[in-house]
Every structure is written in C-alpha cells, then in structure tokens.
Amino acid sequence: MEDIDSFGLKRGRRIAGKYVVGDLLGKGWEGEVYHVTETATGIERAAKFFYPKRNPGNRAINFYARKLNKLRHCSIIIQYHTQETLRHRGIHLPFLVSEYVNGEILSEFVKRQRGRRLTAFEALHMLFALVRGVQEIHEAGEYHGDLHSDNIMVRRRGLGFEVKVVDMYQWGRVTPEHFRDDICALIQILHEILGGAAHYAKQPRELKEICCGLKRSLIVRKFRNIEKLRAHLETFEWE
C-alpha cells in the first residue's frame, strides 16, 4: 500500500479529464479536500481524496459515498455527486465529488472574531443551527462521529448561521453511545467557541447549565437525546 500522507495537488492541474484543481480546503485523518472547477461548465465543486492506507479496497470511499447519499435530505450534509479517478504517483486513486459550500471553517471563523470567541448569543445561535442539522442525521438512524470546529463550514445568514459538516466518521454499528458522543461533541464545540476554559467562569448561568462543566455523565443525563437538547435551547428562560 502506497504510504501517501499528502497529495499536494497544484492549482491549475487538470484531473479526471474534466476538473481543474483550486485551493486545498482542508485535510484530516482520512485525506484531503480540494476546491475544483468543472472545465465544461465552470461549476465549482469539492473533491475529497482518500489516503490509500485509510482506504483499503476502496471500502472507506464507498462507505462515505453511500452514507452521504443516504443522508442527502439532511440540511447539514454536503450533497454527493459522483466518484472519479485520479492517476497520482503511478497509481489510480478514486475521489469523491460533491457540492462546493461557500463558507468558512468554524475554527477560522471564531479566530476572526473579537477576542477570538463568540458572544453568548452568537454561540447559542451557532449551537442551535448545529443541533438542528445533527437531529436530522440522528432521525435518519445515523450519527456523525467526528464533530469538531475544524470540519464544520459556517456562513452568516440573517440572525443565525448556515452550517455544513465536511467530514464524517464510522465507528462500527450504530449504537446509542454514538448518538451520545455527537451530543457531547456539540457541547464541547459550544464551550470552545465561547472561549474555552479561560472564559468559562464568566459565562452566564444559562450557558453553564448547557455545558455542564463538560462532564460527560452530566451532559448525557440532562440531554438523553438530541431532541432533549433542542427542546432545552428552544425553551430555557433567562434570568
């Protein structure tokens, strides 16, 4: 198995006979995502390339494509289009082509804000947008499995935010624990975008009651499922 840990695709390179490579959008454990443009139409897309060692027998890429297709009606999911092949370093590499989302990685968005954090109201709007999207995934009988601020695309929209997840992970057969993992990850994101431990003590009581001190046992007891978390966000009262 070729030990590739970086593709390093150059801007302007033509791939699969129909796309031109743009910027690197992000990279993770499984591979890299690039902005690409269809040469025939000028339509912008995103292309995900899997490291061969993370994709033995193309199992990872095929699983990912099937999962995206199953969840295509979920608003938080980037829409999958097709699978193509790139010849790279003498081997044929399959890659996924999906919609291109015009936004900004959440972690980078937060860094641009005053104090490198969001206000309480902004953070709650962000969390609510994420909760609504993850609820759709859970209602489809699936989970995300790898929620964090580096794989969420965000764009301001009116009073709130539009959000998309740019990666997912499969940890085996779906269990209630996977759903709880997603909920705890959402609470962790809230804590992070508020400024983390350095600013936690000064947060309003209402936000602390959501974060639960990041204690997993308290979080899963209070928010037994994603519906409970959403209901809390929609109905809690401010002092």
**91 & 197 share domain:** no
CA atoms within 13 A on the CB side of 114: 3
**51 & 134 share domain:** no
Spatial separation of the C-alpha atoms in residues 90 and 1, rounded to whole Å = 12
Q: Which of 25, 36, 19, 29 is closest to 51 using CA atoms?
A: 29
Beta sheet of 152-157, edge-to-edge order: 104-105, 152-157, 160-165
**118 & 218 share domain:** yes
**40 & 149 share domain:** no
21-60 pLDDT per residue, tens: 999 888 778 889 999 999 999 999 999 999 999 899 999 9
Q: Total domain count for the chain? A: 2
Assess contact for 122 and 190: CB atoms under 8 A: no
Indicate if the pLDDT at residue 206 is higher than 60: yes
For the domain that residue 123 is a member of, what is the CATH number?
1.10.510.10
**131 & 224 share domain:** yes
Is 1 contained in some domain? no
Which of the 8 DSSP states describes residue 238? -
- In this predicted structure, what is the pLDDT of residue 166? 81
**122 & 40 share domain:** no
Residue range 167-196: mean pLDDT, rounded? 93
Spatial separation of the C-alpha atoms in residues 15 and 99, rounded to whole Å = 17
* pLDDT band, very low/low/confident/very high, at 2 (cuts 50, 70, 90): low
DSSP bridge partners of 83? 96
Domain that holds residue 62: 14-99
Q: Is the pTM of this model over 0.75?
A: yes
Indicate if the pLDDT at residue 150 is higher than 60: yes
**90 & 196 share domain:** no
- In this predicted structure, what is the pLDDT of residue 96? 96
- In this predicted structure, what is the pLDDT of residue 128? 98
Is 38 contained in some domain? yes
Is 120 contained in some domain? yes
Spatial separation of the C-alpha atoms in residues 153 and 166, rounded to whole Å = 7
